[in-house]
Amino acid sequence: MPNFCAAPNCTRKSTQSDLAFFRFPRDPARCQKWVENCRRADLEDKTPDQLNKHYRLCAKHFETSMICRTSPYRTVLRDNAIPTIFDLTSHLNNPHSRHRKRIKGLSEDEIRTLKQKKIDETSEQEQRHKETNNSSVQNPSAEEGGDER
Ligand SMILES: [Zn+2]
């Protein structure tokens, strides 16, 4: 049975390439780290034992410094190796759309503030209008003064 890489957006199989595949570590803390870095939420409720038995990551997800090639036929990971290289583009889309929604929410707030500003402006204009009215009211009196002459 071919080994499939558990990483998202990685379609490598052990039969397709000569890439090394690494089992998830049995150590719960380290296994947790692997699952976290994979962003595979569906693996989070699996036990390290299950993961170790059924899931593997290909060597593409490890920095070369994490991999020790002891011989052409044997590739092992360092004891504390953690996969860090993932193509998470499809996973990044979700936070992006969430980000967009958040911007939309902000713009709605902005619209509200803009509306509030408009109200303030119109009330200011109204006040100015009143002032011009007042001055126009004052003008006839000035004209009246002129009439008096
Ligand atoms: Zn892979």
DSSP H helices in 24-84: 28-38, 48-54
Token pair for residue 40? Answer: 């595979």
Query: Is residue 141 over pLDDT 50?
Result: yes
pLDDT tens, position by position, 45-78: 999 999 999 999 999 999 999 998 878 778 899 9
* 1: helix, strand or coil: coil
Query: Is residue 138 over pLDDT 70?
Result: no
**136 C-alpha vs ligand 1 centroid, how far in Å?**
81
Domain extent listing, the chain: 1-87, 88-136
C-alpha distances out from residue 49 to 1, 28, 53, Å: 19, 9, 6
List Cβ neighbours of 3 (8 Å cut-off, separation of 6 or more).
Answer: 13, 14, 21, 56
Q: What is the mean pLDDT of residues 75-93?
A: 82
Q: Tokens 């036990």 correspond to what residue?
A: 47
Band (pLDDT 50/70/90 cuts) for residue 98 is: very low
**56 C-alpha vs ligand 1 centroid, how far in Å?**
8
**112 C-alpha vs ligand 1 centroid, how far in Å?**
48
Look at phi and psi of residue 9 and say left if phi exceeds 0, alpha if psi is from -120 to 50, else beta: left
CB atoms inside a 10 Å sphere around CB 75: 17
Band (pLDDT 50/70/90 cuts) for residue 3 is: confident
Query: Is residue 143 over pLDDT 60?
Result: no
DSSP H helices in the chain: 28-38, 48-54, 89-148
pLDDT at 96: 44
pLDDT at 144: 55
**21 C-alpha vs ligand 1 centroid, how far in Å?**
8
**111 C-alpha vs ligand 1 centroid, how far in Å?**
46
Q: What is the mean pLDDT of residues 97-117?
A: 62
**144 C-alpha vs ligand 1 centroid, how far in Å?**
93
For the question of whether the overall pTM of this predicted structure is more than 0.85, the answer is: no
Q: Output the average pLDDT for the chain.
A: 78
